[in-house]
Amino acid sequence: MKQPTRPPKGIPLRSVVPNAITVLALCFGLSGVRFAIAEDWEKAALMILVAAVLDAMDGRIARMLNGQSRFGAELDSLSDVIAFGVSPAIILYLWSLQYLPKFGWIFALAHAVCAALRLARFNANIDVEDQPHKSAGFLTGVPAPAGAGLTFLPLYLWLWTGLGVFQSTYVVAPWAALIAFMMISNIATFSWGSLRLRRHVRLGALVVIALIGGALLSVPWPTLSIAAVLYAGMIPASILSYAKIKKQRAAAPASPEPQQGEDAPSL
């Protein structure tokens, strides 16, 4: 009599790889705090940038390897809170906000708390079917990695130009508060996964991506500054684009109800 085969023991490697990338993103985010304590602001900002790149990879690799899991989703959110909420808040505080008496720490806390609230809202809505923004290819609010990148815009400009005005607490504090609000707002923002390129521009897009990569290696701070400004400029466009889609949905004719005496069946 053939004995039943036992299920294989252990965790499949395809489930470990994306989680390992998530943990690496967490480590890079925390390393940014370490460099900020040493006042090495360039490396501090670069650590958050590397964490954002890894965060963009882990989900896609998990889908490629069919290694998605609830554990991975929770780990990703916890990593994002630290790498893009807590770490940027501490870096901004040590770089600028500590010089704002009494209130500087409040602005740093606002960024960390809003990042945590945004990710908690995201986790709470994972199994919700009725998500108008998601069904239209949009996100709700500014994602945590993009929020960290936007919050660092004054830091990028300071590293680029050396002008002290960008380190001023009266510039950094209101900017940080604005980005924190946008992370927990209900505004519609573009989702990169929903963007589609036409076939005739695909090669051109690859050339642009290569040029951007070269610019990041050669002149990182001007490139990151321009990228942050462009992303911020896309937010009003995304709001208008979603408003147009929402209006089209509202104007779409509902399925006509049969009229009594015409097409309605007699009872």
- Is the distance from CB of 166 to CB of 100 less than 8 angstroms? no
Give the pLDDT confidence score for residue 138 in this predicted structure: 84
Most confident of the following: 6-20, 185-199, 209-223: 209-223
Using one digit for the tens of pLDDT, what is the confidence trace for 22-45?
999 999 999 999 999 999 999 999
3-36 in b/e burial notation, b at 16+ Cβ within 10 A? eeeeeeeeeeeebebbbebbebbbbbbbbbbebb
Amino acid at 101: P
Please state, in angstroms and rounded to a whole number, the distance separating the CA atoms of residues 86 and 25. 13
pLDDT confidence band for 56 (50 / 70 / 90): confident
Please state, in angstroms and rounded to a whole number, the distance separating the CA atoms of residues 181 and 113. 10
146 to each of 22, 53, 64, 141, 235, how far by Cα in Å? Answer: 17, 11, 23, 10, 12
Tokens found for residue 253 = 């004719």
Q: Give the mean pLDDT of the chain.
A: 85
Mutual angle of helices 144-151 and 220-251, in 10-degree steps: 130
Please state, in angstroms and rounded to a whole number, the distance separating the CA atoms of residues 247 and 225. 34
Using one digit for the tens of pLDDT, what is the confidence trace for 199-244?
777 777 788 888 888 988 899 999 999 999 999 999 998 888 888 8
Which alpha helices (H) appear in the chain, and where do they start and end?
Answer: 13-37, 41-64, 70-81, 87-95, 104-124, 132-135, 144-151, 153-161, 169-184, 202-218, 220-251
Q: What is the pTM of this model?
A: 0.84
The three-state secondary structure class of 207 is helix
229 to each of 115, 151, 159, 217, 226, how far by Cα in Å? Answer: 20, 11, 15, 19, 5
